[in-house]
Chain A
Amino acid sequence: MNYFPDEVLEHVFDFVASHRDRNAVSLVCRLWHRVERLSRQRVFVGNCYALSPEILIARFPGLKSLTLKGKPHFADFNLVPHDWGGYVQPWIEALSNSRIGLEELRLKRMVVSDESLELLSRSFANFKSLVLVSCEGFTTVGLAAIAANCRFLRELDLQENEIDDHSGHWLSCFPDSCTSLISLNFALPLETLQNILMRAPQLVDLGTGSYIHDPDSETYNKLKHTILKCKSIRNLSGFLEVAPRCLPAIYPICLNLTSLNLSYAAGIHGSELVKLIRRCAKLQRLWILDCIGDKGLEVVASTCKELQELRVFPSDVLGVGHAAVTENGLVAISAGCPKLHSLLYFCQQMTNAALIVVAKNCPNFIRFRLCILEPTKPDPVTMQPLDDGFGAIVQSCKHLRRLSLSGLLTDRVFLYIGMYAEQLEMLSVAFAGDSDKGMLYVLNGCKKLRKLEIRDCPYGDKALLTDVGKYETMRSLWMSSCEVTLGGCKTLAKEMPRLNVEIINEHDQMEIGSEEQRVEKMYLYRTLVGPRKDAPEFVWTL
């Protein structure tokens, strides 16, 4: 390969798309490293504190698309204090001061200020795509800057962010003709929906907001007619407030939909949902609430033969209601949807028998996340832990990359995971296991493990310290409400200088020097740049 000019190598590398593969390519030799890095356009940074913007810019001068993730995953569930970190501002500043022609920015769990958005909108003439998932810190002022200044904006995807002001006024900042816009994934109020659809008829992704209207009203009728013209819509989401009688307006586009997100639509009853879904035969991705019920999931199973990803969220988070979906719904889906590979399923109960059947029906799972709403709930029929059920899943699904466990579980399930889950990259554990063995099985067995997050499990210093080298092969480890002590964490930090071992010390619980004291929250990650300088005072980097 040394005889090829760089351009040929580069051309060959163009066919290598995934980050992993490109990272592997760059390790072959210096020449390949150089050619690869100069030609790389898309970079994924799974932990914004693993490196610095300067390192990124120096290595990849041709960067066009950057994905950045900030806070640990459990921050989504209020386990991480708000001001922990994850600020995007330094990144945008550094990028804007460089020659990088950024076109796409995808952020997850980061703090994004209006100032950052404004700077972003002014710094990159060709900016095309902004995706913010589970971020916070910005308002519609920042969004207005994006709408107004990014002339070539194609995609604006805002999912589950904490945005301050929900007025639609900023939407009027879009230019009159957004021929480039193909994706607007956030809650568009109905009045502006109409407006936007007129300006951007080629929309492929669309989010809707309040969708309550009198079906006889003029606005509604106009909307109906406009939607009819939007033949290109493939992904539909939103529906935060919905009048079921208005749903028929979207029936005409149902047949073309490949992705439908109804998971905020608590106002729609199961029967209405079912009527809608019966028309969506091409669905590949469905996010829905559990009020669809097991029966509704049977309809999904019989209608949506192309289904690849299913997420069933709980509609009753306070637990005052009745059972909505159980193992039966999942079994029906597994039997009817052969292409299913990603699952997130919140349910009242699960049985080993059902999981075993699901494992057999769907050996192609890549992501399997099961959340039984009540922690440590056993199989209600046998009163056994769910070790065998999950064991069947990991044994059957040889490509499983992500797994979330729940229900009553002993160390045995981790033995199975360590033995069988060879491709596992991310594991989420809560209220499970009996002893350090559990964690050790996983650390020893899962060679490809990258992220491990554990809460409320009896794992202590022994589990933490048995194989410290493992953590440099992983992106991060989160442990909260476990048995690790301050002394154990300090030992780990001392032995592994290239890890940041952060202790989150809220409520002034810890005193310096009390080595046996349990650490409430620990987050460690590998990094090239040492302890971060923006940590708040309640975060100690050991």
Chain B
Amino acid sequence: MSSPLLRAVEGEQSDVSLVASSPTVDSSQNGSGLKERNYMGLSDCSSVDSSAVSSLSVEKNNNLNLKATELRLGLPGSQSPGRSSLNTGKLDEKPLFPLLPSKEGIYSSIQKNVVSGNKRGFSDTMDVKNSVYTAGNWMFNSASESESPQSVEQGKFSGNSGMNVVPSSRPSGAQSSIMKEFPGNLLQEHHRATIGTSHNHKTASNNNNSAPAPKAQVVGWPPIRSFRKNSLATTSKNNDEVDGKPGPGALFVKVSMDGAPYQRKVDLRLYATYQELSTALEKMFSCFTIGQCGSRGAPGKEMMSESKLRDLLHGSEYVLTYEDKDRDWMLVGDVPWEMFIDSCKRLKIMKGSDAIGLAPRAMEKSSNRI
């Protein structure tokens, strides 16, 4: 499908670079090619809206041009192929709602807002540094954090020409706000998880191996409960193991802490190093300041700052341990990360005094394994 966008964008390469270089862009000045929404490759979409916009702004009084916003029950023109199940011949074709006059006052300012620079793209949730855009290709499977356009599977057009670079006008400029488009893929494990660190996306490449990259993970999407995700992950993992190959799924293990009223779960696949895991756990358990917060509904107001907890953890008042496949408790950190993930069944943050006997055994075990 060669979209009109392709031609439009390719013809306006220079506009792309111009736009890229100026930090604040009034995107309504960009003309037709680089309207904010065109990154979707939906020239039809934007033309519908722009026709609505232009027609509405033309009509000053109650006779608004309704055609563009007409709501019809029935097949929308000739756009969709005939489907036997969509027998809608009897349906009423007349427009179902006139736009109310009282709403007219809003429309004069639509034009400004429709192309506002404030649209938060899907990518903004994902710490995307670079992304490659392919029209109409929403499933983008690449083997790594793709920075090269060549890895685009169905490259409709080479990398940069497809990018609609509109810098963010947001003052806070958090993440990589330069890209305001939908990568339609890309970095997997993109969890800006509430329990994770903010640099988890770097771990993505570790999880790749031979499996095709899963689609990018947005926090909280798709909207299903963790209970369900976990039970599916467990089931599919079991099924896969039966088949002889490990699943690419998440690897949730329970984490308990002495004195905390309840356990948490972490997905080990989100992390690539012990440091990342440790930071995440610090954040997760920073509320459980030695027995103060909890389910009683009256947590202490004293703040155990993260650094203090880290000191605690590193100052060996608490140590991180795990239960391995043989049901032994080992100190975390003695074996290579991959081996740790493979064998870790549960995590526990114990008091240092309880963990004294562990270290030598861990060393022993791993040396026995070799």
Contact = CB atoms under 8 A, between A and B. Distances in A.
A378 interface: yes
Given A264-B235, A376-B122, A517-B172, A113 B295 contact: yes
A383 B221 contact: no
A352 B76 contact: yes
B310 to A, nearest CB: 14
Nearest to B265: A162
Given A395-B96, A412-B69, A536-B299, A434 B42 contact: no
A437 B228 contact: no
Contact of A77 (B170, B220, B283): B220
Contacts of A384: 42, 44-45, 48, 76, 79
B182 interface: yes
Contacts of B303: 537
A101 interface: no
Contact of B238 (A241, A353, A408, A431): A241
Given A78-B193, A267-B239, A533-B298, A408 B42 contact: yes
A396 B45 CA distance: 24
Interface stretch (B9-17, B84-92, B317-325, B361-369): B84-92
A416 B71 contact: yes
Interface string B166-208: 0000111010000000100000000001110010000000000
Contact of B299 (A328, A385, A430, A534): A534
> Could you say which interface size class chain B belongs to?
35 or more
A38 interface: no
B252 to A, nearest CB: 11
A455 B182 CA distance: 16
Contact of A317 (B96, B195, B222): B222
Contacts of A328: 85
B304 to A, nearest CB: 9
Contacts of B170: 483, 518
A436 B124 CA distance: 18
Contact of B88 (A164, A346, A356, A455): A356
A359 B73 CA distance: 9
Given A160-B225, A318-B249, A436-B113, A79 B122 contact: no
Given A78-B226, A134-B227, A434-B114, A378 B122 contact: no
12 contacts: A137-B261, A314-B224, A318-B249, A356-B74, A376-B182, A381-B79, A382-B79, A384-B76, A392-B71, A408-B40, A437-B110, A536-B299
Given A266-B231, A346-B222, A458-B118, 8 more contacts: A77-B220, A112-B295, A356-B88, A357-B86, A378-B40, A384-B48, A458-B116, A536-B299
Interface of A: 74, 76-83, 85, 87, 89-90, 111-113, 115-116, 134, 136-138, 160-162, 164, 240-241, 263-267, 313-315, 317-320, 328, 331-332, 335, 346, 351-354, 356-357, 359-360, 371, 373-378, 381-385, 388, 391-392, 395-396, 404, 408, 410-412, 415-416, 419-420, 428, 430-431, 434-437, 440, 455-458, 460, 481-483, 506-507, 516-518, 533-534, 536-537
Q: Which 6 A-B pairs have the closest CB atoms?
A: A77-B220, A319-B215, A435-B113, A87-B297, A266-B235, A113-B295
